[in-house]
């Protein structure tokens, strides 16, 4: 059974056709990369799969149930979304921000329990922010704020995660730490919007390429990530090299 799937999905934003009759099935333990040029609609597609934007036509299903038949709280218990940009309009501590990820699992007017606090502190430890729990969210650097957002995603404990540029603002060290962390759970499926083809090749097993005319190519990374496909996708020549059995792409 697919965790998240779409059938004959047709998505458009302004004059940009994101996809035409897209059929996609994302299963447990799979790690998908969504790749494409700026403005092709990667974020729009991710938000549509999360049920935040309407489709022109087609169906989206979460655990074989149509998304539009599920209440938002139930969706949030199964599917989490990392936004591309984090905005903090009110002061609060890092721990308070991370605990927001537990809210889909709480009843109305229920406070977070000791177990919820432990889950949040454990998540902060996983992203290397153990000593940041009492820090104001407004005092963080861009990279630190991104890791707080990732911790918030982790404590939501969903079976499928949609992540829009999860390594945004992160240095190389933290980029790889985060990608290793997110892809280490075999019971979870991840869908990443990425700009770095080499991160996709290293950490993902499937890829969806979105072209600027609404065409898509999907499949395993070994099938889809080729010099020809990527050079056409980015409208720039790319060359594939292999080092120690790992596939890499460089500008040709």
How much is the pLDDT for 39?
93
Place 252 in a pLDDT band, splitting at 50, 70 and 90.
confident
Burial of 93 (0-12, 13-18, 19+ CB in 10 A): middle
Q: Where are the domains of the chain?
A: 4-88+157-251
pLDDT, tens only, 142-181: 999 999 999 999 999 999 999 999 999 999 999 999 999 9
* Pairwise CA distance, residues 172 & 145, whole Å: 16
Q: What is the mean pLDDT of the chain?
A: 95
CATH number, span 4-88+157-251: 3.40.50.300
* CA separation for the pair 184, 187 (Å, rounded): 9
- Judged against a pLDDT cut of 90, whether residue 1 lies above it is answered with no
> Could you tell me the end-to-end alpha-carbon distance of the chain, in angstroms, rounded to an integer?
41
Angle at 201 between CA 198 and CA 206, to 5 degrees: 140
Phi, psi of 143 (to 5 degrees): -70, -40
Residue 120: name the closest of 132, 93, 147, 102 by CA. Answer: 102
166/32 Cα distance (integer angstroms): 13
Helix (H, G, I), strand (E, B) or coil at 186: coil
Decide: 153 and 80 in contact? Cβ < 8 Å. yes
Q: Distance between CA 64 and CA 50 in Å, rounded? A: 14
Q: What are phi and psi of 25, to 5 degrees?
A: -135, 120
Share of the chain above pLDDT 70, in %: 100
What's phi and psi for 177, nearest 5 deg?
-60, -45
The C-alpha angle with vertex 103 and arms to 98 and 107, in degrees rounded to 5, equals 155
Dist CA 150 CA 143 (whole Å): 11
| Integer Cα distance of 52 and 35 in angstroms | 20
To 10 degrees, what angle do helices 142-156 and 114-126 make? 130
Name the least confident of 60-69, 104-113, 213-222, 228-237.
104-113
Closest CA to 127 of 98, 96, 104: 98
Quote the tokens at residue 7: 């059938």
Rounded Cα gap, residues 191 and 177, in angstroms? 17
Q: For CA atoms 220, 221, 222, 223, give the dihedral sign.
A: positive
* Distance between CA atoms of residues 57 and 49, nearest Å: 13
pTM over 0.85: yes
């Amino acid at each position: 059974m697919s965790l998240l799937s779409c059938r004959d999905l047709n998505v458009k934003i302004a004059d940009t056709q994101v996809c035409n009759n897209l059929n996609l099935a994302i299963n447990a333990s799979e790690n998908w990369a969504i790749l494409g040029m700026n403005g092709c609609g990667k974020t729009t597609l991710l938000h549509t799969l999360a049920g935040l934007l309407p489709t022109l036509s087609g169906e989206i299903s979460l655990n074989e149930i149509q998304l539009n038949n599920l209440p938002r709280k139930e969706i949030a218990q199964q599917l989490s979304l990392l936004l591309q940009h984090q905005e903090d309009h009110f002061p609060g501590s890092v721990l308070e921000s991370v605990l927001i990820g537990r809210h889909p699992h709480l009843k109305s007017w229920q406070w977070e329990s000791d177990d919820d606090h432990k889950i949040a502190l454990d998540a902060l430890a996983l992203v290397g922010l153990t000593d940041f729990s009492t820090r104001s969210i407004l005092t963080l650097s861009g990279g630190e704020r991104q890791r707080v957002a990732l911790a918030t995603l982790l404590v939501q404990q969903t079976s499928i995660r949609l992540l829009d540029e999860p390594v945004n603002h992160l240095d190389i060290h933290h980029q790889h730490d985060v990608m290793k962390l997110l892809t280490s759970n075999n019971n979870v499926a991840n869908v990443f919007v990425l700009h770095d083809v080499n991160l996709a090749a290293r950490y993902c097993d499937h890829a969806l390429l979105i072209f600027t005319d609404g065409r898509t190519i999907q499949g395993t990374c070994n099938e889809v990530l080729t010099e020809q496909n990527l050079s056409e996708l980015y409208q720039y020549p790319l060359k594939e090299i292999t080092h120690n059995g790992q596939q890499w792409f460089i500008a040709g």
